[in-house]
Copies of this chain bind each other. A is one copy, B any other.
Amino acid sequence: MAYRETEKMRLRKAAARQRIAECTYECVAEGGFRNARITRIAQLADVATGTIYRHFESKEDLFAEIFRQATQREIAKVTKALATPGSATERLEKALRQFAERALKGPVMAWSLIAEPVDPKVEEERLAYRKAYAGLFEQAIREGIEEGCIPDQNARQSSTCLVGAIAESLVGPLSPTQTNLAAAKETENNDQLVNTIICFCLQGLTGIRR
């Protein structure tokens, strides 16, 4: 017996794995899963293409892991926004704003997480993601109904409408940011846009003019 994995090596391998993951994230944020090539990721991470396969079973597995990591971050943000004090409507507004602002900052990633067609293993992750998301908004809507600040309705269906209105407005094919990237960078415009969307969403939810 002349070689056994030592702590040092374990750390180094973990670091390499992490670096690959980060570069994959970068690639996806740039052009979506579809345009994230293994060779490009290897280049960015400064390893050989084969090395990636020593750390991940396949491209699909790698993507699934990146998807999971990315969504966990998003979910955490929205969860936090919903945990602040205030009425359900106020908390929902915070959460929607959080969601919208995150999406505006990284529209390609947001689109990849929400709508880009992906391989089955990644789609599985998306299922978990959407359940978590829908669950969060749904729960908040239910609380609003109990509190009386939101009229009785199908919370699940309404939460889907919320996500759809935001997603389409910010990252969808009808989005103004797709055709006018320059304008999208003007923070004022973005604030304006987010306000309009949130107004629409909260009115849709409550039926109360704001």
Please report A residues at the B interface, Cβ cutoff 8 Å. 32, 34, 114-117, 126-127, 130, 133-134, 151, 153-154, 156-158, 160-169, 172-176, 179, 193, 196-197, 199-201, 203-210
Q: Which residues of B contact A117 (CB under 8 A)?
A: 32, 34, 116-117
Known: A115-B115, A160-B175, A168-B164. A153 touches B196 (CB 8 A): yes
Residue pair A196, B154 in contact (C-beta under 8 Å): yes
Shortest CB distance A33–B (Å): 10
Shortest CB distance A206–B (Å): 8
Residue pair B196, A158 in contact (C-beta under 8 Å): yes
21 A–B contact pairs at CB < 8 A?
A115-B172, A116-B117, A117-B117, A156-B176, A157-B169, A157-B176, A157-B197, A157-B200, A160-B169, A160-B175, A161-B165, A161-B169, A163-B168, A163-B174, A164-B168, A164-B172, A200-B205, A203-B203, A203-B205, A203-B207, A208-B209
